[in-house]
DNA sequence: CTGAAAGCGCTTACAG
DNA sequence: CTGAAAGCGCTTACAG
């Protein structure tokens, strides 16, 4: 149906061989300036574009990175997506975007990634079963878990240091004189929520400070509802640590609704430092995830492994920082 | 480097021809149940995946849709992205995600799309020069502008009916008794902002109601700052229509900061109906864009044109609806 | 229903 | 520096 312009067409018009046309478009190949000029002129006239598929077929490598995302609702992820796409563009890579509904990447999505023979894969905010992960390994496709850790070893993951962060958060809140805490967890099957809980609780236990854990789901509505439930249960803690910012915003709005003053009556702290945390309407004190650094490290690793596959695994943890605003 | 398992390998193990292996994986081809079983078993054992690149090369069509986005910061777009990806997955298509910084799609990004010989392209929240658009036409690649109109004809675009919407918004506000209006525009080079301004102003002119136009940029900070500027200029209109929700939220927060009560002192209405508009903290009255319908129509058109390219152009406008909450 | 063979548009040794 | 030729992993007429 589609009438593609091929290197052969260009070669004919330019009066050179098809190999020469190829060389003009292949980085690192040598062509004389004269040939190049002829080819470029002919290509321009015909509207030629080298076919990436033919190229990938023969070189046996692609310039595609598979980017898998789950939580597109959380404003944290659009930022991540944007940073990845622009960074990869600079490296000459394109991104194949895969959206998954589930916490675990489905086999069907993996098939797609494998069929396209992607150069590398980033799994954001989701995990996958070990057997599926092994599929990538068998195909020597480098894989990074971004903001999520796999409990089974041997894989590369890039996270914020959640354990340290939540310890710091606990110490900070204690330093502010709070005597009674709540932690609102995200989805319990996520490593981030588990670690944030663990570090937080660890310090509270050490200090003998009472606390309660509320189970939620990393959404605004979840945070809102949880705060309401707290109040209905007659429990207003001196400080609440929400597993992420978007829940913290829900908590603040629920408190506001019930005329509970933040930080006067109770303190609220979040995690991520999404744009909205800085909005004057909220002024949320939070722990900032070093996205830029995390993205950078992810790409660095991926490029190394694409260059030479080693299947190197490691749980990389990058330190974030406290951002003080008005809710503590 | 990478040792791919090919159809040939599977054929050898299964004791059939390579053609038979191909037929098992190609929809619509006929194979006996016995052959299929043998092939599937062998494929499973070897971990075979058909190479999409070889497939595309021979069929001369791809299962990739190029999705171009600009405004990933606006929460409106993650929703759009998610809907597109899931809908395309159902149709067996994958999405190549392209992020552009500029209002106009850069040639470099177009090259990528062309090199991958994408089956279709969606341009979201951005436009492109006519010469670039012609590149797609020359390659018979269907193209849709989503939420943006090209002033030059002949292209397909899917938008909310912005003109009607803003007329309705004006009538609604007038009906609420407001006597003095402001419109806060988004980036002036966008068709959406121009049309929303036009429809709004049209009704106000007809009714002889005074108004002012404030130039802004579709961001929260822009809305916030504009509202502050209004007040500093000594102008508190009876109602402000913000070109999108995210600006409206900024306006509300600025008013709140200055102790101006919404909707008591002034009314605020937005456009989009992003998730946050419904948050209890804001309760923003707004005009809802029918995203689901818009996505559906876009995909419908694209699939038709992929099936048989006609290069059919049209500015499709879909009616949205008013969502009344607490700011008017 | 199945297999042998041609060919999709490229890259890349190999000669010259 | 350039061209002729092989080959990447598939699909698809064409016979049988």
Domains annotated for chain A, with CATH where assigned, are 7-50 (1.10.260.40), 64-160+291-320 (3.40.50.2300), 162-288 (3.40.50.2300)
Chain B: give the shortest CA distance to residue A288, in Å: 18
B152 versus A68: the higher-pLDDT residue is: A68
Residue nearest to nucleotide C9 (CA to C1'): A54
Share of chain A above pLDDT 70, in %: 98
- pLDDT the model gives residue B70: 84
Q: Within a 13 Å sphere around the CA of B129, how many CA atoms are in the beta-carbon half?
A: 7
Residue nearest to nucleotide D3 (CA to C1'): A17
- Among A82, A96, A117, select the one facing B72 at the smallest CB separation: A82
What protein residues sit with their CB closer than 7 Å to strand C? Answer: A 4, 6-8, 18-19, 22-23, 25-26, 29, 48-51, 54-55, 57-59; B 16-20, 23, 30-32, 34-35, 54, 57-58, 60
- pLDDT the model gives residue B262: 94
- pLDDT the model gives residue A243: 97
Chain B: give the shortest CA distance to residue A113, in Å: 9
| Local structure of residue A264 (DSSP, 8 states) | T
- pLDDT the model gives residue B4: 78
B29 versus B148: the higher-pLDDT residue is: B148
- Are residues B86 and A99, on separate chains, in Cβ contact within 8 Å? yes
What value does the mean pLDDT take over residues B32-43?
91
* Cα–Cα distance, A184 to B140 (Å, whole number): 53
- pLDDT category, A194, cuts 50, 70, 90? very high
Task: Look at residue B197 and tell me whether its pLDDT is greater than 50.
Answer: yes
Share of chain A above pLDDT 90, in %: 72
What value does the mean pLDDT take over residues A77-92?
91
- pLDDT the model gives residue B31: 86
| 3-state helix/strand/coil string of A200-230 | HHHHHHHHCCCEEEEECCCCHHHHHHHHHHH
pLDDT digits (tens, 9 = 90+) for A131-155: 888 888 888 899 999 998 887 778 9
- pLDDT the model gives residue A273: 96
What value does the mean pLDDT take over residues A174-202?
94
* Cα–Cα distance, A156 to A190 (Å, whole number): 16
Interacting residues of B87 by C-beta distance below 8 A, sequence separation 6+: B295, B296, B299
- Are residues B72 and A49, on separate chains, in Cβ contact within 8 Å? no
- Among A52, A53, A138, select the one facing B47 at the smallest CB separation: A138
Task: Look at residue B178 and tell me whether its pLDDT is greater than 80.
Answer: yes
Q: Within a 13 Å sphere around the CA of A36, how many CA atoms are in the beta-carbon half?
A: 10
Give, in Å, how far the C1' of C16 lies from the CA of B111. Answer: 36
- pLDDT the model gives residue A3: 61
- Among A3, A52, A115, select the one facing B49 at the smallest CB separation: A115
State the residue for tokens 């300036």.
A33
Q: Which of A284, A94, A80, A64 is nearest to B72 (CA)?
A: A80
Phi-psi region of B283 (alpha: psi -120 to 50; beta: other; left: phi over 0): left
- pLDDT category, B1, cuts 50, 70, 90? very low
pLDDT digits (tens, 9 = 90+) for A198-211: 999 999 999 999 99
* Cα–Cα distance, A155 to A135 (Å, whole number): 13
- Are residues B56 and A61, on separate chains, in Cβ contact within 8 Å? no
- Are residues A112 and B94, on separate chains, in Cβ contact within 8 Å? yes
- pLDDT category, B2, cuts 50, 70, 90? low
Chain A positions in Cβ-Cβ contact with residue B140 (cut-off 8 Å): 1-3
Residue pair A111/A123 in contact (Cβ under 8 Å)? The answer is no
- pLDDT the model gives residue A75: 85
pLDDT digits (tens, 9 = 90+) for A251-278: 999 999 999 999 999 999 999 999 999 9
- pLDDT category, A1, cuts 50, 70, 90? very low
Chain B: give the shortest CA distance to residue A109, in Å: 9
Best of B52, B91, B92, B327 to mutate (most A CBs within 10 Å, chain A): B52
Beta bridge partners of residue A181, listed in sequence order: A211, A239
Chain B: give the shortest CA distance to residue A238, in Å: 22
Interacting residues of B130 by C-beta distance below 8 A, sequence separation 6+: B150, B152
Residue nearest to nucleotide C6 (CA to C1'): B58
Q: Is A317 helix (H, G, I), strand (E, B) or coil?
A: strand
Task: Look at residue A309 and tell me whether its pLDDT is greater than 80.
Answer: yes
Q: Which of B147, B164, B236 is nearest to B200 (CA)?
A: B164
What value does the mean pLDDT take over residues B144-150?
90
Range in A100-104, B51-55, B239-243 with the lowest mean pLDDT? A100-104
Output the CA torsion A191→A194→A200→A203 (10° steps).
-100
A118 versus B133: the higher-pLDDT residue is: A118
* Cβ-based contacts under 8 A for chains A and B: 167
Angle at B312 between CA B306 and CA B317, to 5 degrees: 105
Task: Look at residue B3 and tell me whether its pLDDT is greater than 70.
Answer: no
What's the whole-number average pLDDT of chain B?
Answer: 92
* Cα–Cα distance, B289 to B192 (Å, whole number): 12
* CB-contacted nucleotides of strand C (7 Å): 1-5, 7-13
What value does the mean pLDDT take over residues B176-192?
92
* Cα–Cα distance, B164 to A241 (Å, whole number): 45
What value does the mean pLDDT take over residues A91-103?
89
- pLDDT the model gives residue A126: 80
- pLDDT category, A79, cuts 50, 70, 90? confident
What value does the mean pLDDT take over residues A70-98?
89
Share of chain B above pLDDT 90, in %: 72
What value does the mean pLDDT take over residues B278-307?
95
């Amino acid at each position: 149906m589609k009438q593609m312009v091929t290197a052969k067409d260009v070669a004919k018009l330019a009066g050179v061989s098809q190999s020469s046309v190829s060389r003009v478009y292949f980085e690192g190949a040598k062509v004389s300036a004269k040939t190049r000029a002829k080819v470029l002129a002919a290509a321009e006239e015909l509207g030629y574009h080298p076919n990436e598929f033919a190229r990938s077929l023969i070189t046996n490598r692609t310039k595609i990175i598979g980017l898998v995302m789950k939580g597109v609702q959380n404003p944290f992820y659009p930022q991540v997506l944007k940073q990845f796409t622009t960074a990869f563009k600079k490296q000459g890579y394109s991104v194949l975007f895969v959206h998954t509904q589930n916490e675990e990447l489905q086999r069907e999505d993996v098939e797609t990634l494998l069929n396209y023979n992607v150069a590398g894969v980033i799994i954001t905010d989701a995990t996958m079963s070990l057997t599926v992960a092994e599929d990538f390994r068998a195909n020597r496709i480098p894989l990074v878990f971004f903001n999520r850790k796999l409990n089974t070893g041997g894989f590369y993951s890039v996270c914020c240091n959640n354990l340290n962060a939540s310890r710091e958060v606990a110490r900070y809140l204690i330093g502010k004189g709070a005597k009674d805490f709540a932690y609102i967890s995200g989805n319990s099957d996520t490593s981030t929520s588990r670690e944030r809980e663990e570090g937080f609780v660890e310090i509270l236990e050490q200090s003998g400070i009472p606390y309660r854990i509320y189970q939620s789901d990393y959404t605004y509505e979840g945070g809102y509802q949880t705060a309401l439930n707290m109040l209905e249960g007659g429990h207003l803690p001196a400080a609440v640590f929400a597993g992420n910012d978007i829940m913290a915003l829900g908590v603040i709005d629920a408190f506001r609704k019930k005329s509970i003053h933040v930080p006067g009556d109770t303190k609220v702290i979040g995690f991520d430092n999404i744009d909205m945390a800085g909005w004057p309407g909220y002024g949320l004190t939070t722990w900032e995830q070093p996205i830029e650094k995390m993205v950078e490290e992810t790409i660095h690793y991926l490029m190394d492994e694409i260059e030479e596959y080693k299947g190197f695994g490691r749980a990389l943890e990058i330190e974030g920082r406290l951002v003080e605003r008005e809710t503590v």
